Chain A
Amino acid sequence: AQSVTQLDSHVSVSEGTPVLLRCNYSSSYSPSLFWYVQHPNKGLQLLLKYTSAATLVKGINGFEAEFKKSETSFHLTKPSAHMSDAAEYFCVVSERGQAGTALIFGKGTTLSVSS
């Protein structure tokens, strides 16, 4: 069965410094991977997705993620954090050929940004 592990439950950075949110996945097939963001009292918004094309994926708001099959990782990065980036981030996996399977979410990483 597919799964995702977000290695940090909470990450704190200063405004203007780099962001790294770590995610490892487990999948029997070639996976599709996503990062979603959830701001307080809001629904989930797609940041970016990987679907077996380029391994470096660029998303919205300056975020990007790199798919590394050898490390089964899909870490999310941003060169310079902004106060508005403070939110909950979810790494998500979805597999083809799994009838009845929808998106499987990690436990989430809370990103705090200080001035």
Chain B
Amino acid sequence: ETGVTQTPRHLVMGMTNKKSLKCEQHLGHNAMYWYKQSAKKPLELMFVYSLEERVENNSVPSRFSPECPNSSHLFLHLHTLQPEDSALYLCASSPTQGGNTEAFFGQGTRLTVV
């Protein structure tokens, strides 16, 4: 147990649906991240939030919309996804953003787009 909790663990959605992924940490960390893990590909950093401000957006399509209402919670809102968006979505947090601090990962949400 890393202290980072993601819900739901599994999600199946149609291409016209709207859903949200939730991430929660009570470690007192100031930075939170969304990563995408697809089969046969390295982990892709999607979004970085530091002190609730978005500091990085790695050219992620607008059908993915992050939200960080406070330092303990991070959401990823999904709408009109494509089948190629099926992947494991991992949330992570760290005490600060970047530098030499490790990140603590949740167990991920396995997303299937049909």
Partner of B105, one of A44, A51, A96, A99: A44
With the chains together, A98 CA to B96 CA distance in Å? 13
Interface residues of B (CB under 8 A from A): 2, 4, 6, 31, 33, 41-43, 45, 48, 55-56, 90, 92, 94, 97-108, 110
| Closest CB in chain A relative to B33 CB, distance in Å | 6
B100 to A96, Cβ gap below 8 A?
A: yes
How many interface residues does A have (CB within 8 Å)? 27
Interface of A is mostly: loop
| Closest CB in chain A relative to B107 CB, distance in Å | 4
Chain A residue numbers with a CB within 8 Å of B94 are 102
Query: Quick one: closest A residue to B91, CB to CB?
Result: A43
Q: How many A-B residue contacts, CB cutoff 8 Å? A: 66
Chain A residue numbers with a CB within 8 Å of B4 are 43
Chain A residue numbers with a CB within 8 Å of B33 are 102-103
B102 to A106, Cβ gap below 8 A?
A: no
| Closest CB in chain A relative to B72 CB, distance in Å | 18
A100 to B100, Cβ gap below 8 A?
A: no
